[in-house]
């Protein structure tokens, strides 16, 4: 009786352990699922790239239009803005480079 009870208990334990192992095994996606995920990701990135490019071009055109208006209407203001830009751009570039190095310790091209 005791041996039968132990065998039953062991068989239940083995069955439960197999259920736990089955739950812990990760599902391996099939090739079709992976390809669909990759295509979806690429399509989303392409849309995001187009939106970012349009936003960049619109911003660049607005800046160009405002600078050309200033250049033709108020020449001295335009010259002052250009002078400040020549002084501030390298400083901003250095500060941004330091901030990125601290934040992510990344390798930069410059």
Q: Give 72-84 pLDDT, tens digit per residue.
A: 888 887 788 888 8
In this structure, is residue 9 part of a structural domain? no
Rounded to whole angstroms, the Cα distance separating 28 from 30 reads 6
In this structure, is residue 65 part of a structural domain? no
Give me the number of domains the chain comprises: 1
In this structure, is residue 109 part of a structural domain? yes
pLDDT band at 26 (very low <50, low <70, confident <90, very high): confident
Distance separating the N- and C-terminal Cα atoms of the chain? 80
In this structure, is residue 62 part of a structural domain? no
Quick one: pLDDT at residue 105? 64
In this structure, is residue 54 part of a structural domain? no
In this structure, is residue 81 part of a structural domain? yes
Domain of residue 92, residue span: 75-110
Quick one: pLDDT at residue 65? 87
Q: In sequence order, what are the residues at sequence separation of 6 or more whose Cβ sits closer than 8 angstroms to the Cβ of residue 70?
A: 77, 78, 81
In this structure, is residue 93 part of a structural domain? yes
Picking from 95, 97, 63, the residue whose alpha carbon sits closest to that of residue 82 is 63
In this structure, is residue 100 part of a structural domain? yes
């Amino acid at each position: 009786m005791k041996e039968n009870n132990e065998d039953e208990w062991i068989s239940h334990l083995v069955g439960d352990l197999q259920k736990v192992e089955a739950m812990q095994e990760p599902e391996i996606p099939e090739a079709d699922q992976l390809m669909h995920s990759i295509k979806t990701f690429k399509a989303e990135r392409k849309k995001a790239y187009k939106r970012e490019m349009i936003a960049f071009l619109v911003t660049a055109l607005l800046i160009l239009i405002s600078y050309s208006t200033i250049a033709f209407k108020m020449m001295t203001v335009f010259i002052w803005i250009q002078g400040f830009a020549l002084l501030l751009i390298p400083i901003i570039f250095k500060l941004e480079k330091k901030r990125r190095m601290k934040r992510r310790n990344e390798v930069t091209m410059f």
